[in-house]
Amino acid sequence: MTTTARVPILAGSDAETVAAQAIAERWGLPSETTDNDVFQLWLTNGVLALHWLQSPQKMSPLVVDFHQGKAAYRAQNTQLKNEAIAKAVGVTGQFKPSVVDGTAGLGRDAFVLAGLGCNVQLIERHPVVAALLDNGLHRARQEGDFIGDTCQRMQLIGTDNLFTGSGYTQEPDVVYLDPMYPKTGKQKAQVKKDMQMFQQLVGSDEDADTLLEPALALAKYRVVVKRPNSAPFLAGREPNSQIKSKKHRFDVYIKRGFHESAN
Ligand SMILES: C[S@@+](CC[C@H](N)C(=O)[O-])C[C@H]1O[C@@H](n2cnc3c(N)ncnc32)[C@H](O)[C@@H]1O
């Protein structure tokens, strides 16, 4: 189940109290701690970090940092022909579809698409995840490098736009969905530490099936759904095609070809 655990945000120093308060107000987060807090967000030197106070093992705080680790490596080494996500979304050397990522999470997939030249509007309903993502995008954009430029093509537009149908700055060619799917057995054991924290916070998106209809209504050309290889189709609906990678598959629902007009 998606959890809406109470997660307070705290400032690492007096100088950041106002900035922390602004984040609390923007995402509807509390500023007071309690003895029962499972998670806390800390804003320190401009970096927002999620701490899991009751984690079963020692864990580093969760931070969205597009300049670090796998994300940075991937951004600089992504090759169009090797990315299953690019094939599924329909990115080519000449055509960079505009994308709405309806389940943005920590923005990793959106970052790959933006790195390939797509403009991506991001929607994330979990306020803590949205706050972390917003902070990561803000910090990355300060750098005038490839990664900063990539993050300029990513706009976090809100939390429930798929259902309200409003807030978009551009009609999307493609809607991309990657809802949480309950992990089982072997899959669970393989989940990396930062993802364990993310899963503990967000839970599984048990209402994920409701995303497909509004996504199909919004997309001009296609909807792409990322699923674990063993998962059933979203909303039980068979896609028009599938692109498979090692751990996942991308189910592609085609409304019309990229070269067909709307009428
Ligand atoms: C598996 S994660 C997405 C990971 C993301 N693709 C990435 O690369 O970082 C799924 C996310 O979708 C969000 N989500 C689920 N249903 C949503 C909805 N109806 N609207 C917006 N976000 C939603 C969850 O809160 C969660 O953060």
Domain chopping of the chain, boundaries: 9-52, 69-254
Could you give the CA distance from residue 20 to residue 129 in angstroms, rounded to a whole number?
15
* 73 vs 67: CA distance, rounded Å: 8
* The predicted structure's pLDDT at residue 83: 87
**Phi/psi at 49 (nearest 5 deg)?**
-130, 140
Alpha helices, DSSP H, located in 142-220: 146-152, 161-164, 185-190, 193-202, 212-218
Residue whose Cα lies nearest atom 20 of ligand 1: it is 125
pLDDT of res. 206 = 93
DSSP 62: B
**121 CB within 6 A, ligand 1:** no
Nearest CA to ligand 1 atom 3: 105
pLDDT attached to residue 187 = 55
Return phi, psi of residue 242, to 5°.
Answer: -135, 140
Tokens of 144: 């005038």
Q: Which of 180, 209, 224 to mutate to test the pocket of ligand 1 (most atoms within 8 A of CB)?
A: 180
Whose CA is closest to 91, among 260, 258, 262? 258
Task: Report the amino acid identity of residue 253.
Answer: Y
- For residue 155, what pLDDT is reported? 98
pLDDT, tens digit, 9 for 90 and up, residues 46-92: 999 999 998 888 889 999 999 998 878 877 777 777 789 999 999 99
Ligand 1 atom nearest the C-alpha of 104 is 5
**Which protein residue's CA is at the shortest distance from atom 7 of ligand 1?**
108
**CATH superfamily, region 69-254:** Vaccinia Virus protein VP39 (3.40.50.150)
Q: Which ligand 1 atom is at minimum distance from the Cα of 198? A: 27
Q: 66, 118, 125, 227: which to mutate for ligand 1, most atoms within 8 A of CB?
A: 125
Cα–Cα distance measured from residue 80 to residue 203, given in angstroms and rounded to the nearest whole number: 32
Q: How far apart are CA 97 and CA 101, in angstroms?
A: 12
Please report the pLDDT score of residue 247 as a whole number: 84
Regarding the beta carbon of 100 and ligand 1, being less than 6 Å apart is answered: no
Single-letter code of the amino acid located at 230: S
Helix then strand then coil, % of the chain, to nearest 5? 35, 20, 45
Residues of the chain scoring pLDDT < 50:
1
Q: What's the confidence (pLDDT) of residue 81?
A: 77
